Structure formats: structure tokens, C-alpha cells
Structure 1
Amino acid sequence: MAKNGVRAAKAAATRARMLAAARSLFVARGYTATTMRSIADEAGVAVQTMYFTFATKRAVLSELLDAEVAGDTAPVATLERPWVAEALAAPPTELIELLVTGTARIHARVVPVLEVVRSAAAVDPDIAGLWRTNIAQRHTVLTVFAGALAAKAALRANPARAAETMLATLAPECYHLLVHERGWSRDDWERWAADSLVRQLLVD
């Protein structure tokens, strides 16, 4: 591997270590109580490295959230992911089931981090903006799914209302409540969410 390749690989590994440290501390302590220095100490890097790489704590949380949603650091939008293409091409009921399964995979990773964002949003305007952006991104994705569903089947509501119904049913807050607080398994949540959306959206 050339020197540039070695340097890039080392930088990527360090960045990943810092994000992992940030995730651990944000989830354990909350956003406000976590400092850039504490993340640096947890990651085993100088605090200057944290600031050079991310500049601000908000930027750390924002990048961590993006990585947790995606499941990797590849610059590929959700709507361009293979599982989304597979779901959008499926028949109506299967489309809903694949959407729910894909959402469950994302929630299993991201919900603890989203709880950090949601809690901090109440007291930090910058993080409130991050929370609103996340909701808007989810709504954009679900609007595409609602449009695809409307093109394949008769719906009980117009596509805009269908997207909002998906947004509420598949909300990370709902997943957190049922899985993390009430003890449902991920499979339990998937069955409930898929059945709920089929009943609410598709005409018999």
C-alpha cells in the first residue's frame, strides 16, 4: 500500500475510534455531560485531534448519527441503498414488510443515539435543528415509499397522509418505547408495525 493509502487508512481508523468513543459516552452520559476532551480520552487521542477532525461536539454527534443510520461511512443516501430499491420494487404487502424490516435494522443501531439527540434538543437549539433535520429526512424517505405504494395499490388515504402514518408508526420513539422500555423483541415490533401499516394503509 502506498504511503498515502496507509495514511488514509490510519486516519479512517482513528476517526472510527473517535466516533465509537463518542457513541459510548453520549449514550452513557448524555450530550451535555460529554466533552470533547472526554471523547478524546476515551478514544486515546489528543483533544486537538478531536477538534482538528470534527471542529465541534455537534459535528461529532451529527456524523455519528449519519453513520448509525447508514450502518457504515459510505457516502450513499438511504434512498440509494440496495434494500430500499428491493422494497420499492416489491408488491404492496411485501413492500411494507421490507420497509419495516429495513427500519428495524436501522433502529437497532441508531435509536440509542437518537434518544441522545431528542433529549438534548429540549435544551440546545443546535441539537434541536439536528433533530428536526432527522425527522425531515425520514419523512422524505417515507414519502417515496408512500408514492410507490400508491402506484401499486388502492390506499385508505392519500399518499401524503400515508407517509405521515408511516412516519408515526415507524418513529424511533415508538421503537424505543416498545423494545427498550416495554421489553418487546425486535421481531415483535416488526410484526406489529407491518400489521399496523397494512391495516391502516391498504384497502382490503
Structure 2
Amino acid sequence: MDIGENGVVRRRASQAASTRAEIVMAAGKLMLERGYVGTSVSAIAGEAGVVVQTIYNSVGSKAELLAAVLDRVAAEPGAPALLSGATRERIAAARTATEVIRIVARSSALVNERTSGILRIVSEAAVVDPDVGEFEQKRDAARLHGFGEVAAALREKRGLRAGLIYSGGMSDHEAAATMWALAHPHTFRTLVLSLGWSTEAYLNWLEKSLLAALL
């Protein structure tokens, strides 16, 4: 492949990425405005200025569109993934278990705040679309796995509650499940969006609850 062909390939890849980004942005906008059921693939195509087949070729099904919207929202500045590379580095560099928990609490609060709107759509869509329900289960499983990594880091820093399980000790799996439940997006939505807590109040509660439950 010569230099000219390389340039063509790069331009096509750039155009494809740009088209995909426009489709995902259009899908997010319409789903937040109209809900999952009220947003058709053809409406998304019209909003993005493409034909319907381009959506299937570039992103996939309607459920995959919703997944792509959630990934885009979570990756925006100010809302790092729970265990992004940067978060893993901060956890590895933390000197104490308390510092690890504070890092995780802040990361969880930021992610939950940024994704709360689209996650509401995911929960609503899961009731009517089995593909979305499966997707939601996979994300829950991935979140639990991520907290398992945090539990291992806490154990390594001698911060996880020690002792036999029946006498108050905690396994890594139990610690991961505890973090998963306390930091779950549904908990954020209930406390902040339904009951009117501020995000700062939620963060303070989450940090204190994780410290009390795990250390």
C-alpha cells in the first residue's frame, strides 16, 4: 500500500468515526427527549442526516445505539469510567485503604451524575426490549467485576475488614458486592433525583458508608 492509499484509508476511517459520533449524539438527544420507545431508528437517521442502513452498518441495533450513547456520556470530561486507566493509577498510588475508598467514591459519584439521564432510559428500555435488558445485566456484572479489583487493592493495602467471615471478616466478593450496592446508579437516582439530595451530599454519604462497611 503506497502513501496515497494510506491517506485514503485514514480519511475513510476518520469519516466513518465522525459519522458514528454524529449518529450516537443524535440518538442520545432524541432518547432523552422522547424516551427509548418513542425514538425510532428512522428518527435518529433523520436527526443525524444519514440513511437508516448507515446506522446499522456504523453502530448496530437500537439497543447497541443506547449502549454507545451511554459509553459516550460516561467518557466525557469530568466523568471518568469507574476503573479507567487513570483511576487504576490513582488507586495503585494510594498509600492507604481510606484513600482508595475516597477515590472510588468520587469516581462513582461523577459517573453516576453524568450518566443518570441515559441510565434512566436504559432502565425503562430494559422492560420492553430484551436486548437492552441483557445489556443492563452485562453492565451490572462488569461493574461488580470492577469493584472486585478495588476489593483486591484494599486487601493488598491491609484495609479490608480482616478476620473470619462468620466473625465479622469480609471476603473480596462480599466487599465488591457491598461497593456495588452502595454506589449503584439506582441508589444515586433515588437519593439525588427523586429525594433531592445534592451530589455533594451523596458523595459524602457514599464515602462514609463505604468506610464504615469495609474498613
TM-score range (shorter-chain normalised) is 0.7 to 0.9
What secondary structure is seen at the aligned counterpart in 2 of 1:122? helix
**Separation of aligned partners in 1, 2:60 and 2:140:** 25
What is the correspondence of 1:84-123 to structure 2 with a 5 Å cutoff?
84-90=88-94, 91-123=96-128
Q: Report the alpha carbon displacement of residue 187 of structure 1 after superposing the two structures with TM.
A: 1.8
Cα distance change of structure 1 residues 88 and 180 upon mapping to structure 2, 3 Å threshold: farther
My pick for the range that moved more, 158-167 or 181-190, is 181-190
- Tell me the residue number matched to 2:86: 82
- Name which of structure 1's ranges 170-179 and 24-33 shifts more when overlaid on structure 2: 24-33
Alignment gaps of 5+ in structure 2: 1-5, 162-168
Q: Deviations over 1:96-133 (max 9, x none)?
A: 01011111222222222221111121222211101100
Aligned to 1:148: 153
Cα distance in 2 for residues equivalent to 1:169 and 1:124: 27
CA positional deviation for 1:37: 0.6
What pairs with 1:14-33 in structure 2 (closer than 5 Å)? Answer: 14-33=19-38
- Preserved CA contact (<8 Å) 2:63 2:131: yes
Alignment equivalent of 1:66, drawn from 60, 67, 71: 71
Contact 1:121 1:128 (C-alpha < 8 Å) held by counterparts: yes
Q: What residue identity is the alignment partner of 1:192?
A: W
Secondary structure class of the residue paired with 2:128 = coil
Measure how far apart 1:174 and its partner are.
0.9
TM-score for both structures, normalised by structure 1: 0.87
SS in 2 for 1:127: helix
Q: 1:188 aligns with which of 194, 197, 201?
A: 201
Aligned residues: 198
State how far apart, in whole Å, the 1-side matches of 2:11 and 2:179 are.
44
Q: Report what 2:60 is aligned to.
A: 55
- Identical-residue share of aligned pairs (%): 34
Q: Name which of structure 1's ranges 146-155 and 89-98 shifts more when overlaid on structure 2.
A: 146-155
Cα shift at 1:195 = 0.8
Distance in 2 between residues matched to 1:61 and 1:154, nearest whole Å? 36
Cα distance, 1:186 vs structure 2: 2.0
Structure 2 CA distance for aligned equivalents of residues 194 and 140 of structure 1: 20
Higher mean Cα deviation, 81-90 or 165-174? 81-90
Query: Superposition RMSD on alpha carbons, in Å?
Result: 2.1
TM superposition shift of 1:184:
2.2
Q: Does 1:163 align with 2:176?
A: yes
Residues 123-173 of structure 1, C-alpha deviation per residue, up to 9 Å, x if partnerless?
222111011001000000001101111222241522211111100100001
